[in-house]
Structure 1
Amino acid sequence: MNVGIYIYDNAEVLDFSGPFEVFSTASRLTEPTDFFNVFLIGETGQSVLARGGYSVNPAYGFLDAPGIDLLIIVGGVHLQEMQKKNVLDWIALQAQSANLVASVCTGAFLLAAAGVLKHHHVTTHWEDITDLRASYPNLTVQESRRWVDAGDIITSGGISAGIDMSLHLVSKLHSTELAEKTARQMEFDWTKNA
């Protein structure tokens, strides 16, 4: 199962590193191994400077990325990304072909701007809930939730909540047993209830 995580300049580091760690750890713990194939995607495939100047080399750009079963859009300083038509078009196209779409933190804004979120129940970082409600009044934005599972679209709160959501996705896509083993391997106290 291909898990593609979209990153961009000023993306929040734990927004992508947390889910990446969950799926790569889960993959190591499965029999046979490599149930999840997780990778980072940038717009061009060139290095991305995440928050704090953290330099990251995505495995792919838009033009050479393989098919994606689970698309994860991360948060960060997202306003510039929302102005890029090619980014929003790519997100919309990938969301149509992926089996599941997820966001961490303010990644929900990118999904909404791309037209992926229509009348969904969603969440985002607590600090951005008011802005998401004001910008997209068709959404039901829920507070005090680590993640919201709306079936084929799952959104999570800020930063570390992406780890909880990713463990939930492992349980949904494989098994609760694997999610629990993954959390234990990571020495992470998984909040199972959103």
Structure 2
Amino acid sequence: MQIGIVIYDEAEVLDFAGPYEVFATAARLCGTKPWSVSLISERKTVRARGSFPVQSHFTLDNHPPLDVLLVSGGVHTWAMNNTVLLDSLRRAARSAQWITSVCTGAFILAQAGLLTHQNVTTHWEDIDELGTRFPDLSIKENVRWVEDGNRITSAGISAGIDMSLHLVEKLHSRDLALNTAKQMDYFWES
């Protein structure tokens, strides 16, 4: 199973690093390596928030088929207008069992046409804007994540860790999700 986390310039660091740590830790604890997790971006290196340089495993052009597509949040306005990124997300979504986002990654999924009429959430600060830009979405407030069919969106930043633990539970088991949270010394709001 392939889990791909899409990042871009000005992506929020914890939006991708938190889920990455969850999936990598869970795979290590599992012992049988139920999945591989990778970072994917348009260019091999991006500058995340705070000018944090990040080198991806794959580019949008050369990543393997994904079973889980996760789009991180951050300063999303540029990403929403990047046709290369949006087209790549649409292609990746064709094989994905799960299409997910953290924080303002929901804007990017919606712009790509991958969230339509779903129940969704995003960072509390961006709830109104998401509803204004995409009025067909049903926005949920004061929740850590929302699952609707094979779409899962999370609230802001640290909520991506909670959503990722939820995905570990769905992809493998509740025991693995609980053990992962314990190993990470993280209080999981499940």
TM-score range, shorter chain: over 0.9
Q: Give the partner amino acid of 2:110.
A: A
Q: Deviations over 1:67-93 (max 9, x none)?
A: 110000000001011111111111111
Q: Give the partner amino acid of 2:154.
A: S
CA distance in 1, matches of 2:19, 2:90: 21
The equivalent of 2:24 in structure 1 is 24
The equivalent of 2:97 in structure 1 is 99
Q: Give the partner amino acid of 1:73.
A: V
Gaps of 5+ in 2: none
Does the residue aligned with 2:58 lie in a helix, a strand or coil?
Answer: coil
Gaps of 5+ in 1: none
Matched-pair contact (CA < 8 Å) for 1:68–1:97: yes
2:67 to 61, 66, 69: 69
Give the paired residue count. Answer: 190
Pairs within 5 Å for 1:45-60: 46-60=44-58
Does the residue aligned with 1:164 lie in a helix, a strand or coil?
Answer: helix
User: 1:153 aligned to 2:165?
Assistant: no
The equivalent of 1:10 in structure 2 is 10
The equivalent of 1:177 in structure 2 is 175
CA distance in 1, matches of 2:115, 2:47: 27
CA distance in 2, matches of 1:96, 1:133: 25
The alignment's C-alpha RMSD in Å is 0.7
The alignment-based identity, stated in percent, is 52
Matched-pair contact (CA < 8 Å) for 1:7–1:40: yes
User: 1:36 aligned to 2:35?
Assistant: yes
CA distance in 2, matches of 1:8, 1:175: 31
Q: Give the partner amino acid of 1:15.
A: D
Does the residue aligned with 2:135 lie in a helix, a strand or coil?
Answer: coil
CA distance in 2, matches of 1:122, 1:104: 11
Q: Which portions of structure 1, spanning 4 or more consecutive aligned residues, are displaced by more than 6 angstroms?
A: none
Deviation, structure 1 residue 63: 1.5
CA distance in 1, matches of 2:6, 2:148: 20
The equivalent of 2:136 in structure 1 is 138
Q: Give the partner amino acid of 2:13.
A: V
**With structure 2 as the length reference, what TM-score do the two structures score?**
0.99
Deviation, structure 1 residue 60: 0.5
Does the residue aligned with 1:108 lie in a helix, a strand or coil?
Answer: helix
User: 1:128 aligned to 2:105?
Assistant: no
Deviation, structure 1 residue 151: 2.0
